[in-house]
Amino acid sequence: MNLSGKRILVTGASGGIGRLVCLKLLQKGAELLLADRPCEPLDKLLAEIGDQGGKATALHTNLLEEGAGEKLAQDAQATGQIDIVINLAGIMSFRLFQNESAENLQRMWQVNVIAPMQLTRALLPAMVARGSGRVVNIGSIFGSIAFVGFTTYSANKFAVRGFSEALRRELDGSGVDVTYIAPRYTKTPINAGAAARMSEALKMNMDEPDLVAANIVLAIEKDAKDYYIGFPECLFVRLNAILPRLVDAAMHKQNAQIREFARNE
């Protein structure tokens, strides 16, 4: 897909990965709609794009609010045609599931699953009517391999992966495509604290945000259906799908180590 001239809506636009994705899309000649909460990073990103001669519009949204997805779609479509939506906004939790609060469970499902589904649903009629468009859902390796301490997050990302697969099949032949992208552990503020200490102690593979952002843009350009970032994680995804009990055994020792970090969060 040639991204030049495409009008692209990006949620979580001012975040660690989102900002870099937006700047790389700008280099490809895209026109951007930056969806995020009103904040200084969003203002800076908008100014930075303007300084580079790019086109961008900030759309203030709080995905925790009821109906936020539909409201964002309405605001975005009021500016013109939306060619691509990138559902990138997300929140993470690293703790034992028994210690997860009911409030945080609801927050995570709202931001990570419900809001992007609502947003996509509201944008689809116009895309289907003209026979073109792309939905890009940013998942995670944790959406294929569930990890101790990330029970809620893994469940969210499993849901995003299932949503992407089902929607792609539903839209087959419509001219509207769906891309699911699954990064592995990325060095961003969302992964700070105990999760970062755990990953360092276990020597987990970690990617820089710039590498992840570059791969997200590349996956869109390649019209990828599913795009997994990182090796050997992409191999483990396939292994877990075929032989999950083998992966259970392989992770047994690591699970005990992770529990110690998650217990103290």
Tens of pLDDT, residue by residue over 78-124, are 999 999 999 999 999 999 999 999 999 999 999 999 999 999 999 99
Per the model's pLDDT, the better-predicted residue between 193 and 44 turns out to be 44
Tens-place pLDDT, residues 152-185 = 999 999 999 999 999 999 999 999 999 999 998 8
Q: What average pLDDT does this structure show over 226-235?
A: 89
Best CA proximity match to 71, nearest among 80, 61, 79: 61
Residue type, 230: G
Query: What pLDDT score does 12 carry?
Result: 97
Query: What pLDDT score does 125 carry?
Result: 98
Confidence check: pLDDT of 195 > 90: no
Confidence check: pLDDT of 196 > 90: no
pLDDT-derived band at 192 (thresholds 50, 70, 90) equals: low
224: burial class by Cβ within 10 Å (0-12, 13-18, 19+)? middle
pLDDT-derived band at 188 (thresholds 50, 70, 90) equals: confident
- Tell me the range of 50-64, 194-208, 251-265 where mean pLDDT is highest: 50-64
pLDDT-derived band at 194 (thresholds 50, 70, 90) equals: confident
User: What residues does each domain of the chain span?
Assistant: 7-263
Query: What pLDDT score does 146 carry?
Result: 93
Query: What pLDDT score does 252 carry?
Result: 87
Quote the mean pLDDT of the chain. 93
* Tokens representing residue 12 in the block: 């979580």
Looking at the domain that runs over 7-263, which CATH code has it been given? Answer: 3.40.50.720
CA distance 131 to 145: 34
CB-based contacts of 58-67 (< 8 A; 24+ apart in sequence): 58/34, 59/9, 59/33, 59/34, 59/35, 60/36, 61/11, 61/35, 61/36, 61/37, 62/37, 63/11, 63/89, 63/110, 63/111, 63/115, 64/107, 64/110, 64/111, 67/118
The set of catalytic residues is 153, 157
* Tokens representing residue 61 in the block: 């949204």
244: burial class by Cβ within 10 Å (0-12, 13-18, 19+)? exposed
Confidence check: pLDDT of 240 > 90: no
Confidence check: pLDDT of 1 > 80: yes
Query: What pLDDT score does 264 carry?
Result: 67
Q: What average pLDDT does this structure show over 1-29?
A: 97
Confidence check: pLDDT of 64 > 90: yes
